[in-house]
């Protein structure tokens, strides 16, 4: 029997840290080749780590939520034969930039067995009452364990004051006393003061989103511009197309029309379809229009990308948007599908709201937000008529986009949407 060690792979772009999202196995499980061991996350892509070997899981290298260095030990598997763990072997190989599948052959060789414990970071849950790692078995005598069960106390939440952090009977008493003083307010009163607190670790997607939002608002000079658009005509066109072709080609939402409007308007405003590298001080204008579509998933905001929108028909765009949205929501969107956009569309859809101030998806320089469609009385040619109105709330990076250009760009989009035929006039 030997030990096969799998290290945290480099998933691309030379990043040094990868977040461990979820384990699919536990210590003691038998795994077969190609079985998924864990999900790890980088940037916004979730990647499966498959097992390259048959064997038994003997140690996990980290906790879900832990950010682990590329090359640190992810998991140890007991295998037939020698395995790849050697007492005094060559240093760990340089991590490669290959796709996860290629990692199977990366014979990760451990330089020092003791390092297996190294990637453990600080305790996952911090708080006044916790004094050990989440998976660590609390040190306590059988009598203390039994007493804790009798009292309904989870031993792992109790701070141990004995030698080596051993939980003593006194610690149980102290924990209980603390709990009682917390619970002194009358429990039945609906207007009772509350003093409870819940600590939620900012991990995984949430951490990524927080970092990116912080980065975007710190770096870019956001300039927001809101315009009201009459969508009566395009809504008529949309419902007509859905009636006529809905059954055969699929239903259209407003999004593919907006994608089309971006594509057409960008021909005259190439500076909006760009990436600004503020370190190199270079703006790259792109011919291809890769539209990021902000999508809410269970784990948070994701931005899957409709590639080459300039080459897609309405239905083509519609199908791609819906496919990507599903993939993102199910956590199955690939890294490629979640990166590389050149401009972003964001929509709070039917939720309402008059105005939003979207945050740029850096290094892009423009983001267009869609607000709710409402019927409103409008004055047209001296008559009050009911029209379907919608606000577009957009933001631009004012460092490289002037206000005048931004306004003109939105006005162009407005013109295209209010006169839908012009979307298709080449």
**Residue 166 or residue 275: which is nearer to another protein going by CB?**
166
Looking at 9, 52, 55, 61, which residue binds another protein (CB under 8 A)?
A: 61
**Residue 120 or residue 398: which is nearer to another protein going by CB?**
120
Site string for another protein, 72-91 (x = CB under 8 A): ----x-x-------------
Known active-site residue 196: no
- Residues paired with residue 163 on neighbouring β-strands, in sequence order: none
- Exposed, middle or buried by CB within 10 Å (0-12, 13-18, 19+), for 216? buried
Looking at 14, 91, 128, 152, which residue binds another protein (CB under 8 A)?
A: 152
Could you give the CA distance from residue 381 to residue 82 in angstroms, rounded to a whole number?
Answer: 85
Closest to 110 measured CA to CA, from 135, 80, 75, 68:
75
**Piece of 57-65, 96-104, 220-228, 366-374 that binds another protein (CB under 8 A):** 57-65
Q: Provide the minimum distance between the beta carbon of 80 and another protein in the complex, in angstroms, as a whole number.
A: 12
Structure tokens at 141: 């005598």
| Cβ(57)–Cβ(75) below 8 Å | yes
Could you give the CA distance from residue 59 to residue 110 in angstroms, rounded to a whole number?
Answer: 14
- 22-51 residues in contact with another protein (CB under 8 A) are 27
Q: Provide the minimum distance between the beta carbon of 62 and another protein in the complex, in angstroms, as a whole number.
A: 10
- 82-141 residues in contact with another protein (CB under 8 A) are 113-114, 116-117, 120, 137, 139-141
- 389-418 residues in contact with another protein (CB under 8 A) are none
**Piece of 164-172, 227-235, 263-271, 293-301 that binds another protein (CB under 8 A):** 164-172
Catalytic residue of the set 215, 277, 336, 402: 402
Q: Provide the minimum distance between the beta carbon of 151 and another protein in the complex, in angstroms, as a whole number.
A: 8
**Residue 59 or residue 373: which is nearer to another protein going by CB?**
59
Could you give the CA distance from residue 300 to residue 284 in angstroms, rounded to a whole number?
Answer: 29
Catalytic residue of the set 48, 308, 398, 405: 398
Q: Provide the minimum distance between the beta carbon of 185 and another protein in the complex, in angstroms, as a whole number.
A: 26
Q: Provide the minimum distance between the beta carbon of 145 and another protein in the complex, in angstroms, as a whole number.
A: 6
Looking at 166, 329, 372, 398, which residue binds another protein (CB under 8 A)?
A: 166
Largest CA distance in the chain: 88
Within 8 A by CB and 6+ apart from 216, the residues are: 359, 360, 361, 362
Could you give the CA distance from residue 172 to residue 213 in angstroms, rounded to a whole number?
Answer: 43
| Cβ(277)–Cβ(363) below 8 Å | yes
Known active-site residue 402: yes
**Residue 75 or residue 265: which is nearer to another protein going by CB?**
75
The count of chain residues that interact with another protein, using the rule CB under 8 A, is 27
Q: Provide the minimum distance between the beta carbon of 137 and another protein in the complex, in angstroms, as a whole number.
A: 8
Looking at 38, 53, 58, 274, which residue binds another protein (CB under 8 A)?
A: 58
**Residue 119 or residue 369: which is nearer to another protein going by CB?**
119
Q: Which residues are catalytic, by number?
A: 398, 402
Q: Which residues bind another protein (CB under 8 A)?
A: 3, 27, 58-59, 61, 76, 78, 113-114, 116-117, 120, 137, 139-142, 145-146, 149-150, 152, 162-166
């Amino acid at each position: 029997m030997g030990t096969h060690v799998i290290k945290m792979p480099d998933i691309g772009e030379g990043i040094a840290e990868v977040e461990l999202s979820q384990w699919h196995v536990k210590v003691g499980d038998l795994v077969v080749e190609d079985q998924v061991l864990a999900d790890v996350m980088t940037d916004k892509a979730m990647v499966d780590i498959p097992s390259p070997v048959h064997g038994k899981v003997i140690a996990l290298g980290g906790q879900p939520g832990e950010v682990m260095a590329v090359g640190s030990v992810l998991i140890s598997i007991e295998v037939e034969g020698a395995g790849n763990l050697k007492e005094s072997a060559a240093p760990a190989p340089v991590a490669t930039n290959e796709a996860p599948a290629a990692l199977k052959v990366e014979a990760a060789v451990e330089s020092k067995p003791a390092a297996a414990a190294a990637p453990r970071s600080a305790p996952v849950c911090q708080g006044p009452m916790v004094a050990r790692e989440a998976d660590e078995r609390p040190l306590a005598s059988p009598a203390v364990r039994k007493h804790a069960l009798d009292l309904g106390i989870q031993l792992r939440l109790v701070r141990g004051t004995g030698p080596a952090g051993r939980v003593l009977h006194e610690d149980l008493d102290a924990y209980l006393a603390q709990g009682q003083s917390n619970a002194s307010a009358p429990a039945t009163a609906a207007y009772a003061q509350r003093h409870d607190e819940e600590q939620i670790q900012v991990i995984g997607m949430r951490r990524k989103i927080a970092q990116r939002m912080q980065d975007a608002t710190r770096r870019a000079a956001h300039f927001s511009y809101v315009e009201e658009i009459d969508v009566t005509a395009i809504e008529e066109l949309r419902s007509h197309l859905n009636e006529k072709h809905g059954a055969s080609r699929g239903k259209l939402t407003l999004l593919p029309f907006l994608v089309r409007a971006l594509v057409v308007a960008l021909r005259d405003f190439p500076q909006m379809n760009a990436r600004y590298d503020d370190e190199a001080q270079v703006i790259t204008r792109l011919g291809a229009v890769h539209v990021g579509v902000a999508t809410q998933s269970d784990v948070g905001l994701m931005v899957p990308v409709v590639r080459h929108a300039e080459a897609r028909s309405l239905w083509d765009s519609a199908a791609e948007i819906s496919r990507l949205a599903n993939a993102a929501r199910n956590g199955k969107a690939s890294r490629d599908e979640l990166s590389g956009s050149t401009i972003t569309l964001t929509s709070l859809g039917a939720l309402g709201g008059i105005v939003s101030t979207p945050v740029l998806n850096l290094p892009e320089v423009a983001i267009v937000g869609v607000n709710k469609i409402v019927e409103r009385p409008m004055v047209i040619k001296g008559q009050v008529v009911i029209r379907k109105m919608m606000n577009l709330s957009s933001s631009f990076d004012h460092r490289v986009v002037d206000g005048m250009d931004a306004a003109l760009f939105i006005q162009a989009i407005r013109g295209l949407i209010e006169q839908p035929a012009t979307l298709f006039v080449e």
